Amino acid sequence: MTDWQMSAHRSGKIEYPFNSPRLPMSLTPRLSGKVAARAHHSPVTAAFLHRLAPFFATDQVVGGPLLVATIVALICTNSSLVQVYEAFWDNGLAISLGALHTTHPLADWVDDALLPLFFLIIGAEVKREITKGALSTIRTAAFPLAGAIGGIVVPIAVYLAFTYGTEAAHGWGTVITSDTAFALAIIGLFATRLPKSVRAVLLAFAAIDDVGGLLVIAVAYTDALDLTALIVAIVAYAAMFGALKLRLVSPIPYVLLGLIVWGGTYVSGIHATIAGVMLGLLSPTRSRLSEHRFAHRVQEPIDRFQAAVRDAQQADDDHTDAEEAERRTQKQLGYLQEMTQATDEPAERLVQMLNPWVSYVVLPLFALSAVRIHFSSDLLADAAGSVLGLGVFAGLAFGKPLGFLSATWLAVKLRLAELPDAVSWRMVLGIGALSGIGFTISLFIANLAFPDVQRTEMASLAVLIASVVSAGFGYAALQWASGSAGRQLGHV
320-365, pLDDT tens digit by residue?
667 777 777 788 778 777 777 777 777 778 888 888 888 889 989 9
CB 168 within 8 Å of CB 453: no
Statement to judge: residues 314 and 423 lie in one domain: no
Write down the number of H helices and E strands in the chain: 23, 2
| Domain total in the chain | 2
CA–CA separation, 322 and 163 (whole Å): 81
The predicted model gives 80-92 an average pLDDT of: 90
Tell me how far apart the terminal alpha carbons of the chain are, to the nearest angstrom: 17
Q: Supply the pLDDT for residue 320.
A: 67
Interior/surface letters 407-424, b for 16+ CB within 10 angstroms, e for the rest: bbbebbeeeebebbebbb
CA–CA separation, 65 and 356 (whole Å): 10
Kindly report the number of other CB atoms within 10 A of residue 49's CB atom.
16
Check the CA dihedral 456-461-464-467 and report its sign: negative
The predicted model gives 204-230 an average pLDDT of: 78
Opening angle at CA 203, ends 144 and 214, nearest 5: 85
Q: Supply the pLDDT for residue 46.
A: 54
Evaluate whether residue 143 is within a structural domain: yes
User: Dihedrals φ, ψ of 75, to 5°?
Assistant: -65, -45
Statement to judge: residues 196 and 102 lie in one domain: yes
The predicted model gives 312-317 an average pLDDT of: 67
Q: Is the pLDDT of residue 190 over 90?
A: no
Evaluate whether residue 247 is within a structural domain: no
The predicted model gives 451-465 an average pLDDT of: 87
Q: Is the pLDDT of residue 27 over 60?
A: no
Statement to judge: residues 217 and 323 lie in one domain: no
CA-based max dimension of the chain:
92
Q: Is the pLDDT of residue 15 over 50?
A: no
Statement to judge: residues 430 and 300 lie in one domain: no
Statement to judge: residues 133 and 281 lie in one domain: yes
pLDDT band at 416 (very low <50, low <70, confident <90, very high): very high
Amino acid in position 380: L
Q: Supply the pLDDT for residue 33.
A: 62
Q: Residue 101's beta-bridge partner residues?
A: 96
CA of 69: how far to CAs of 58, 186, 211, 443, 447, in Å? Answer: 17, 17, 25, 15, 19
CA–CA separation, 13 and 4 (whole Å): 11
Statement to judge: residues 405 and 441 lie in one domain: yes
Q: Is the pLDDT of residue 484 over 70?
A: no
CA–CA separation, 407 and 364 (whole Å): 33
- The size of the chain, in residues, is 492
Helix/strand/coil percent split, the chain, to 5: 75, 5, 20
Q: Is the pLDDT of residue 40 over 70?
A: no
Statement to judge: residues 314 and 384 lie in one domain: no
Check the CA dihedral 183-184-189-194 and report its sign: positive
Interior/surface letters 341-378, b for 16+ CB within 10 angstroms, e for the rest: eeeebbbbebbeebbeebbbebbbbbbbbbbbbeeeee
CB 420 within 8 Å of CB 194: no
Tell me the per-residue pLDDT of 117-165, one tens digit each, with 9 for 90 and over. 888 887 887 787 778 766 677 888 889 889 999 999 999 999 999 999 8
Q: Supply the pLDDT for residue 31.
A: 53
SS3 65: helix
Statement to judge: residues 338 and 350 lie in one domain: no
Evaluate whether residue 34 is within a structural domain: no
The domain containing residue 157 runs over which residues?
52-222+270-286+345-490
CA–CA separation, 135 and 140 (whole Å): 5
Evaluate whether residue 1 is within a structural domain: no
Statement to judge: residues 178 and 123 lie in one domain: yes
pLDDT band at 14 (very low <50, low <70, confident <90, very high): very low
Helical spans, DSSP H, in 196-290:
196-220, 227-245, 251-268, 273-282
Q: Supply the pLDDT for residue 26.
A: 46
Evaluate whether residue 250 is within a structural domain: no
* Weakest-pLDDT range from 157-161, 222-226, 270-274, 406-410: 222-226
Statement to judge: residues 324 and 390 lie in one domain: no
Evaluate whether residue 330 is within a structural domain: yes
Q: Is the pLDDT of residue 94 over 70?
A: yes
CA–CA separation, 428 and 274 (whole Å): 26
Q: Supply the pLDDT for residue 408.
A: 94
CB 276 within 8 Å of CB 118: yes
CA–CA separation, 185 and 284 (whole Å): 26
Q: Supply the pLDDT for residue 128.
A: 78
CB 202 within 8 Å of CB 182: no
CA–CA separation, 308 and 373 (whole Å): 66
Q: What is the CA radius of gyration of the chain?
A: 25
Nearest to 58 by CA among 361, 263, 279: 361
SS3 189: coil
Report the share of the chain in percent with pLDDT over 70.
83
Nearest to 373 by CA among 437, 309, 446, 301: 446
Average pLDDT of the chain, as a whole number: 80
Statement to judge: residues 274 and 387 lie in one domain: yes
Nearest to 441 by CA among 205, 230, 203, 180: 180
Q: Supply the pLDDT for residue 175.
A: 92
CATH number at residue 62: 1.20.1530.10
Statement to judge: residues 329 and 411 lie in one domain: no
Q: Is the pLDDT of residue 406 over 60?
A: yes
- Residue, of 6 and 255, whose pLDDT is higher: 255
Q: Supply the pLDDT for residue 269.
A: 78
Evaluate whether residue 29 is within a structural domain: no
Q: Supply the pLDDT for residue 76.
A: 93
Evaluate whether residue 2 is within a structural domain: no
Q: Is the pLDDT of residue 116 over 60?
A: yes
